[in-house]
Amino acid sequence: MREIIFDTETTGFDPQTGDRLVEIGCIEMVNRVPTGATYHCYFNPQRSMPASAEAIHGLSERFLADKPLFVDKVEELLEFLGDSMLVAHNARFDFGFLNHELGRCGRTAISLDRMIDTMTLARTAHPGAKHTLDALCSRYGIDRSHRVKHGALLDAELLAQVYIELTGGRQIGLGLADLPATGPVVAVEAAALVATAPRIRREPRHFAVPPEELERHRAFIRTLTNPLWGVETPVAETA
């Protein structure tokens, strides 16, 4: 199963009021395992960059001035996305900007049926906890020390690790699914461990019963009515 984990950076919060997409980063995963294939691009938004947005991602108007327009890269972006499911954190935000840019190019919007929102997954898995990307990285022990500012490709890489944890953890992709059956495999491995384990010979332990204890036992038996084992049945002194 192929999935694309992606993140975007923008000039603001609402494409309907003129905000634009300025960066996208995508990570390809197959069967929950990153393949190493990525797509990353900056875009010239053809508008100014608000200081509040620049403070978050560090992308200035000057830096983006010589970057391609979204329309110039839309073909290669769509080719990379293919028809795969698309995973994002607070995905409606990213889908909103991506589909707005596609609409400006006269392209068909990507169906929300292809959307997987890790924030929704996190709220289900950890109700009442913080669900930011930083908080989830802390929860799962994912190193984010190199994340000084937001960056689409870096955040997509972190999100890929978070997504793996949210959908079953790192055991996914170990290849166990290729085995015909788990039970027999475990049994064979256990048998192999037993067969190869070193055998330690221990001397038998003797438990001597003192004569006075034997006599007290016989005396107790004589107090019973019709004991099944008989009064004079000898008691073993060793075991």
Would you please indicate which residues are annotated as catalytic (active-site) residues?
Answer: 150
57 is in an annotated binding site: yes
How far apart, in whole angstroms, are the C-alpha atoms of residue 234 and residue 218?
Answer: 9
Instruction: Please name the residue ranges forming H helices in the chain.
Output: 51-57, 61-64, 70-81, 91-104, 118-125, 133-140, 152-166, 182-196, 211-222
Query: Closest Cα partner for 25 from 47, 57, 54?
Result: 57
Sign, CA dihedral 167-119-161-5, equals: positive
217 among annotated binding-site residues: no
* 88 closest CA partner among 154, 199, 198, 8: 8
Say whether 165 counts as a known binding-site residue: no
Q: CB neighbours of 173 closer than 8 A, spacing ≥ 6?
A: 31, 32, 33
Is 155 annotated as ligand-binding?
Answer: yes
Known binding-site residue numbers for a divalent metal cation: 7, 9, 155
Q: Which residues are part of a known binding site for substrate?
A: 7, 9, 57, 155
Detail the residues annotated as belonging to a binding site: 7, 9, 57, 155
